[in-house]
Structure 1
Amino acid sequence: MRSPRRQPVAGAATRTGPPVPPAWMRWLPVCYVAVVLILEPLTPVDWPVSFLLVALPLVTAFAHGPLVVAGATALAVVLEGVLAGTPCCAGRSVGYLWDRHYVADYVCTVLVGGLGTILAAHRIHRERTLADVRFVADIAQRVLLRPLPRRIGNLRLESFYLSATAEARIGGDLYEAVPTAFGVRLLIGDVRGKGLLAVETAAAVLGAFREAAHEEPDLAALARRMEQSVSRRAAHIGGSETGERFVTAVFAEIPADGRVVRVVNCGHPPPLLVRPDEVRELDSGRSGPPLNLGMLLTEAHHIDSYPFRPGEQLLLYTDGVTETRDANGVFYPLARRLRSWGPLEPRTLLDRLHHDLLDYSGDRLQDDTAALAACLLDGGPRSVDDSSEP
């Protein structure tokens, strides 16, 4: 059975209670009792189906709390006694209310009911704990990848983060958009590795970018500043894998007074420029190494400039998108998919991408995915400080 659709991580964190079991599981005890009551009169006296009621407390414990389980235990004992003491069932001439086998059945039902009550209480406690943990993870996600303004100046922004597992909330993929005096600066990146170390590195990268984006007038200087920050972070962590702790990233800048996009690529999948009649990969072939591998760079970071006209979109994404595979191991054809969809609004585009990735992989994503879409709106230049929150 295919797992339920996972929603991209976004928006404010809200505290929720324990998950509600599906309706069929909540009604399972009632159906179980009904089947026993139907079969009991139809079976021979040597085959007392009422003995099956001993499992009713455990069946109830799957979806209900300890009080309901205790009530189901009492009901099971009463029904067992009624069925045992009814001579008419299956042609009986005498009841077996106090027969030693039935008395043993009553005792077993009470014992199983006690265990079921304990299990139900433990399940409720675990579910509440898991709900609290997820709430904390949602708060951490909101701090790490805070919701972007839907509009900055004449730039429309949308984003999504899709975890590879339904239980996870945060990972090593990151994105950000910062309005500055030099224009709107965008970042998307992917930290090598997984787990808490990747999350900590992503938080450090985002914090450094949010500060440096306002101070460095040149996009290449901003990339160098980020290189230094990641290198210091890796050295601070220490260990034998310091040189392997790197971050692939793309920095983009869209000035408020010009219809151009400037890009510095640090070992990351190249952005896509989505036009009504074309999907173009912004790859000049001069990508630099990932952050923290700057010793491999023999020259300064190279800035590539491309025309960016109203109605066009810039799509930044992590390799979790293009490395998604279908059942035959074929990689996801992102550019071809975008061409087939035609012109779409940024939110519609990312929603379509989200569902298409799940369909393509059969809900079996192998890596976290993040994407950021920026669309230039028609109209005169507007201040980059003129932004609105979602």
Structure 2
Amino acid sequence: MSRLLSLTALAWRTLLQHPLQTFLSTLGLVIGVASLVAILSLADGLEEFAREQISSTTDLQSMYVDAREYEMVDGVAIRRDSAVVFGDAEVAALVAHLGPDVRGGLRQSRSVLVEQDTLRTAARLHVAQPLIWELAEVELAAGRSLTAEDSNAVVVSAPLAERLGGAEAALGQRFSVGGQEAEIVGVRDEETPAVYGAWALAAPEASTLVLHVAQAENVSETTDRVRAWLDEQFPQGAEGFTIATDEMRTEQLAKGMLIFKLVMGFITGISVVVGGVGVMNVLLMTVTERTQEIGIRKATGARRRDIVAQFLAEAVMVSAAGSAVGLLAGLGIVFTAVPIIRSLADDMPFRAGFSLGSLLVVAAVAVLVGLVFGTYPAWRASRLSPVEAIRRD
């Protein structure tokens, strides 16, 4: 321990004696580490924000079963001749098979024509059975949500309500949705033209079977049981269906963000490597300048490993200093960037994330860059002959 402390102190004194060289050798490393810290912190914040959005808009206790309408043949998507269309019978049979802790319902989405007097526009129609609307938690600008007693009642989005005179004025109005008469009972606060209706407005086409499990920890087991039931009930088996859960979406998000961070980390890692090359070049110049000093040390008993240890210590110190400054610079970039991102995104509640893993990466970079790029200068210094080193000008 005392040897390590003495090496560190010697390396620090040497670096302070050559401030300009130390600054130039760390400049590239500072830029690389600052970029790495900024990207990792912003990416962590983006992942956290996305997870919060998924948690607030999805239900981890639900799963969604869809019949595959297409199959891949030699890389070409071919429409199936007879895709399964779920109905009340299939829902009842599956729920009975799964037990009392599971409830089920159907939902369907399609594009329709919305008409009323002079109004004629396209919108996305989302219809569902009562269970789905019971589970949905949405913010309404006016009116009420759909209930099990509703048949031709609908909730419209804000853009449609504006074309009907505003949120309050739209309540109670009737119009044609996909050729069927419907009455507006609520207005949803969202940006896209959409209509949400009771199951009476459904069309005889493919629907999504939604299953709600009482306990979120049982979703995985229930998914396996659903696959087994599909294998028993349909000729194409479970392979003819897709089963998705919101937990899967969260996992897909995590994988996507990991790939993003790896790619961006690799790109910014190039800057760190360039900084490491700068450290090596400056250390090589230092070896040349301090040739006589090295010769005197070897002549007075210093071994090769002592010279190697000294220059490696200096390399690690330079890298650590550059990484520390880069860390502070990266944090400064993040704190500057977050308010800008919020202002450009309409005050979106985005914040940076500072994980322990990111800080450990920075610490590892400091040590690795110093060791990797300091090895050759240290080896070269240790190979100098004491006699020739002392005689050299």
Normalized against structure 1, the TM-score is what? 0.24
Which structure is higher in RCO with an 8 Å CA cutoff and minimum separation 6?
A: 2
